[in-house]
Structure 1
Amino acid sequence: MAESDKIRVLIVDDIADTRDNLEKLLFFEKDMQVVGKAATGREAVTQAKQIQPDVVLMDINMPDMDGIAATEAIMAQVPNTQVIMMSVQGETDYLRRAMLAGARQFLTKPVGGDELASSIREVYRLQQTQRRFVVAAQQVEEHDQSTGQIIAVYSPKGGTGKSAIASNLAVALKLLPGNRKVCLVDASLLFGDIAVMFNINSSKTINDLTSRIDDLDKELLNDVMTTHASQIKVLLAPANPQMGELVTADHVRTVLEALRREYDYVVVDTQSSFQDQTMAVLDAAHRIVLLMTMELSSIKNIRQFLEVAELLGYNDEKLVLVLNKADAKFGIRVDQVEANIQHKVAAQIGNAPFEMVNAINRGVPLIIDQPRHQISIDVANLAYLISGTTRTSREGARPQQPKKEEPKGLFARLTKR
């Protein structure tokens, strides 16, 4: 294998024996090359800028600049580098801090050779995928480069885990390299759950924007939205169904357009309905994360929605079909489902009911609480997929009708086509 094809690794640890042992573990990996070793966090940042490694093995506890601070500096100055954090301590707080700093994985010392090599290859693969996404993103039109992307999380059937996936996906997008600005909108206007997902107590909701819909600006948005510890902004649903009824489809369109001008990604949790407010979200969305489970009723509803989506002009690029709560025990194969609905499943998210319920009850998204859990990895992979195939326009979507002729209700709209 040519030297240029190998995974270039920088080892950072304040103990010389540990640095040497890690180098020995990687010596027999034919696809890897140790290109540098650093004893301090500051030295790591300097070397990372100079040698541009693919992967940094970063110790978390160092005297002058700890691994958290060094990782934040490297991610800001060498964004194509991926960081694997290492520590003799595996507490949840360390995992959370490492992930928020930008680390892609967290390994507990002592690390075995197989685990170390596997982790390096995994984060390198993510790095290569991200580079392809950057190239694709550079092809967007000049107009859309100044605006963000709206990502709707939707299912025509309740109980598929929309709110949980929307919450975790928003955090995952924030954690992507590049420090993107991300907000999460709870557009389940009658019975929104995002406040519970993030354990947010705030009296400010989307109603505070709709009451001043003609005055929307950055300051008003910041005043109404809540900043979560993950640094995403959250716009909560109305406090009760009565207030939710006051939010119109026009309100939703105007708010989303205002948010799109301020954020790189606007993730929207939606209602399982065809109400005008929900359709306003789906029309405006650049991507629709369409959630399905292996229940026959869910598969049936997805098939019917895909038929409606075709009538509305939503092309395949707009729809990202995701199998949630994926579990082989259900006895239905994915290829059977794809043949039945005539649509490919773009991604799968595993089934971990206990962990997900526990995360919801604690108000901490699983991707923050347990970043190494398979569900967290699945959601992170979905975030990479979304960020790499973001639509640059509403090509193929149903053209907007003049406001005075806008029909009421989905099926009234379909009959007018």
Structure 2
Amino acid sequence: MTIARTAHSLLARLAAGAALAPLSGAMIPAAWAQTPERAAISLPAMPLDAALRTIAARSGTRIEFDPDAVAGLSSAPVDNAASAQAAVRAAIRDRRLAVSHDGDALVVTGDIVVIARRDPAETDLLVRDATTSSRTGQSLREQPRNSQVISARLIAEQQAQTLADALRNAGGVSVNTATVQGGVAYTVRGFGSSGITNGLPTVVAQGLSAGATQPLANVERIEVLKGPDAVLAGVNNLGGTINIVTKKPSAAPVLDLTGETGSFGQWRLTGDANGALNADRTVSARLIVSTNNADRNFGGYRGNMDNLVAPSIRYKDAATDVILNATLGDQSFGMPPFTLLDPGTNRPFAQPRDRPFLGVKDQGIRIETTQFFGEASRSVADWLTLTLRGQHQETDVTIRQYSPFVVFAPDGTGLISATHSRLTGVHSRTRLAALVEAWL
């Protein structure tokens, strides 16, 4: 009897448990459904390190970051971010930072951005690479040709005022600043050189070498290539050539204002403004303005004058580099003074130095130049780079001068006559060059 009751009680309990089992299984999801969901994250702008710690505390996610990378930065506002990663991305928006996963943690690091930097020729006295001879930017040690680079920093240290001053210490180079019309021309190893600008041949008019009228304020470097290899720049460069490379924009902020004064009433003002235009510093611009004037030269003729406006813009990222610039120049060179010899005494005639000996003061050559230059470079692979350069230049040359002639009478008396000439000409040239740089 007792055994029967015990068995009956056990069966009743098992039946009750079996009846409650479906109810219990149905209630578990209901209990889970009542667990509150993790709330969206919203934060106002605050110090970035504090914002990252707050996001980590609210989300329960481990966030790692370098304190130096976020020092001094403020976070962007975060509005209803659904996850910790979304909240971090919103907080570091436009801050040049990146977020990534490392296991179960979020890691905030500085974003890698390729920007345009100032050329070493503007910051260093010694430049170790050149583009005139190899066209690929190889170091001077790797080039089999005789090349010399004069940097903008060296030009400033020497306090050079003209191209002739800058080339004074270049071996094998002679600069003629006393041409018949005024202006500048140069020879390399005894041969005349037409010269090039930014690696491309430009207008050569009235005996003036290319780039010779470029104010030094816009010169980044002067590359001198000596020897017959200079025919790479054209057939008019048998002894060598000189490449005038103009300045380019960079992401580094630069603001430089200078003023100078000198003898014969000379004064010069120069302004150079450079910097990035966007937050990631891939776009940069530069503006160079220079004006120079002198009352007269030591022969009493008009002094040299030059005005320059050179705007430029650049886009550079990890694979692409595009440069566009314009150069608007107006230069005047006074007629070089001359000396007349008295055949009777075999000594120069006495002549004043504060006014012209013959003709009016305003004699010389005026050169008005408009130049547009563009360069695009694209790295296709680690061993292949495509480069395209183009340049268009228009030059208006005006010459005004009195040409003296000396005729000797039978008794040895010198008779002086003069003719006045005026010449105006417009010279235009467009050059385009493509370059494929490959390393196999």
TM-score scaled to structure 2, two decimals? Answer: 0.23
Report which structure shows greater RCO (CA 8 Å, sep ≥6): 1
TM-score scaled to structure 1, two decimals? Answer: 0.24
Bigger fraction of residues in strand: 2
Bigger fraction of residues in helix: 1
Return the index of the structure with the highest Cα Rg. Answer: 2
